[in-house]
Chain A
């Protein structure tokens, strides 16, 4: 049934373009999440302890079909990390892209959030952190592997705030934005 609907939908879409039209598919990921998944209650954290807080909890399954024609993937995530003792937090934002089964927050699924696919962006306890990644087959190793996982179809995505604190405080973590954009020339399906 789903396939039957897909054929006219694709036909309609093709009718609007040529084989040289670059098609972007943008998924507004955070819109599929309930409020309590995007903005969970604040964490009470203790001096000297380390924490791994996942957002959204359990990750988000992005409902894309097998997209072998993809040439580029854009991941945009914005996470707010606000500490009641801003100077007492030290940590990073980590990103995980996993196939549809298995553990999401596994080291093998980690995608560096820093520039040039190395390192992770720091959190300061005051400002939200925006991750803006562009992945392709020619990206450095951990990023190109994530590209291959997205290309294979249905995948999961999640962010982890890994931090340690030097004062008893509360930390509020919110997912402000999660956008997944993929681009390619669909005509390559019929290669």
Chain B
């Protein structure tokens, strides 16, 4: 019982990261809105005053399902199990729906998935497989449900601090924080080896049969940004430059490689197995230090003189940001390497006290965005958004429209994120600037049974 509760707690804690998604952005299909929220991609927007909509506290609406849906009443299931276990049961607890909902607490799932009525687990000497008898199809136990149609933010910039203290002096804004990141590696197995040994024989040597890499770093991050508005004829310019630096307190990485080569005969049992592993430590956990800098630049402009031939155009904003234009980092430390030679059965260990990690890289992410606000007759206002992002292995395009009439806001958008289409639909009520409620339709792939789970996300803004 205690174990079940702690497992549920862990899942909730892990899924709470999903709560950070901006409901306004969800409704706009991911389109970027001019304002401070865009500054991670474009430091030109650091001091740009946005329209104040968006953001707010995303409500964990998904919790409602555990109260409203009788098949997901976890309290009743855990405290009063008899009706669930009698034959035939008088109550049903839907584990699949509960799993789908608890991993997407930011949305109230409307079409909770129905699990198969009959499931077969097939054991044989060659393996285990699952089969959904009700729907007559094999089941893949794939519980990864991230990266939905309305996915998570598509890019990150620099080092993300655990917490940061922002302050500003005139046109200079400073953000100091502490960061810690760990990239645990999953073992990689040479796929050619897997094919080769299917017949029980090893026909070639595999220097990287199994390899594993892991690394972690911690330190202090410091973002110093300069942003100043400039009035030029026909436009108000916002120029921004940001230097993101870090001073590394600790860094460690480790790699291990297992190599295989045929022995006296090709049989797998006589193969020679060698290995090597190395680890590098720097900072407080070793010796040496680490530091790094990255440079971001951006420009945003309200083109006050632009009309585009449309008298309804009230405001026209364009921006271009480049993050990671320069990136350099270095860690000095100690590297220890152990190699085992299967031919001589001797392992040798070497230590290099002057090892280093890091270097200079050019890996920028370009973000361009256009926003137009239009005032129409009858009190209607329309905000049209278009943006594109290129770099760091991703290409994203977004188009979003937000319409406002008195208190009511309606949003729609479409995005193309790394070849994947996403749509957004949302709405809200704006009681006063900063006080409002936003709603958005969400969708994500349903685990196990496939299909799409549709839901509603809500955010409350209490900025009065």
Residues of A participating in the B interface, judged by any CB pair closer than 8 Å: 7, 11-28, 31-32, 63, 71, 185, 187-188, 190-191
Contact = CB atoms under 8 A, between A and B. Distances in A.
Nearest to A25: B121
Nearest to A190: B81
Contact of B141 (A16, A23, A71, A188): A16
A12 B119 contact: no
Contacts of B139: 16
Interface of B: 3, 7, 71, 77, 81-82, 84-85, 87, 89, 91-97, 99, 114-126, 130, 133, 139, 141, 143, 447-448
A35 B89 CA distance: 45
Contact of B119 (A17, A63, A188, A190): A17
Contacts of A71: 87
Given A17-B116, A21-B118, A28-B122, A188 B95 contact: no
- For the complex of A and B, 4 pairs with smallest distance between CB atoms: A28-B124, A31-B125, A24-B120, A31-B124
B81 A191 contact: yes
A16 B117 contact: no
A15 B130 CA distance: 13
28 contacts: A11-B7, A13-B119, A13-B141, A14-B95, A15-B143, A15-B448, A16-B115, A16-B448, A17-B95, A17-B116, A19-B92, A19-B95, A21-B115, A21-B119, A22-B119, A23-B118, A23-B120, A25-B121, A27-B123, A28-B123, A31-B124, A185-B85, A187-B89, A188-B85, A190-B81, A190-B85, A191-B81, A191-B85
Given A19-B92, A185-B85, 4 more contacts: A15-B96, A16-B96, A23-B119, A185-B89
Contact of B87 (A13, A31, A188): A188
B447 A15 contact: yes
B89 A20 contact: yes
A31 B117 contact: no
B96 A17 contact: yes
B173 to A, nearest CB: 46
Contact of A21 (B3, B117, B141): B117
Nearest to A189: B85
Contacts of B447: 15
Nearest to B124: A28
B45 to A, nearest CB: 42
A13 B85 contact: no
A113 B256 CA distance: 57
Contacts of B71: 18
Contacts of B84: 19, 187
Contact of B133 (A19, A24, A63, A188): A24
B92 A20 contact: yes
Nearest to B3: A7
Contacts of A25: 120-121, 123
Nearest to B126: A31
